[in-house]
Amino acid sequence: MSKQWLQIVAIWVATLVFGLLALLNFTGDALYTLFAAIAASAIALVSIEHLISAKAKDTIRQQVYVSAGTMAILGSLTLVSFAG
C-alpha cells in the first residue's frame, strides 16, 4: 500500500471516529454542523498536506478519494441518526 493510500485511509478512520463521537454526543442541528465541519476538515487536511509537501503528485485524486469516502461515512452516520 502506498503512502498516499495510508494517508487516505487514516483520514477515513479519523472521519469515522469523530463522526461516531459526534453521533453519540450531539443531536439535531449541532450534529449536522459537526458533520459538516468534519467533512471540511478532511478535505482541508489533504490540501494542507500538499501545500507543505514538496510533492504535489495526485493532489486532486487524493481529494476526490477523501471527499467520496468522507461523504459516504458521514452519509451513513446521518442515516443512523435519522433511524435513532
Three-class SS of residue 60?
A: helix
Lowest mean pLDDT among 8-17, 20-29, 55-64: 55-64
> Residue 74: CB partners within 8 Å, gap ≥ 6?
15, 19, 35, 38, 39
The rounded distance, in Å, linking the Cα atoms of 84 and 21 is 15
Q: What is the largest CA-CA distance in the chain?
A: 45
Express each pLDDT in 30-74 by its tens digit: 999 999 999 999 999 988 888 887 676 778 888 999 999 999 999
The domain limits of the chain are 3-83
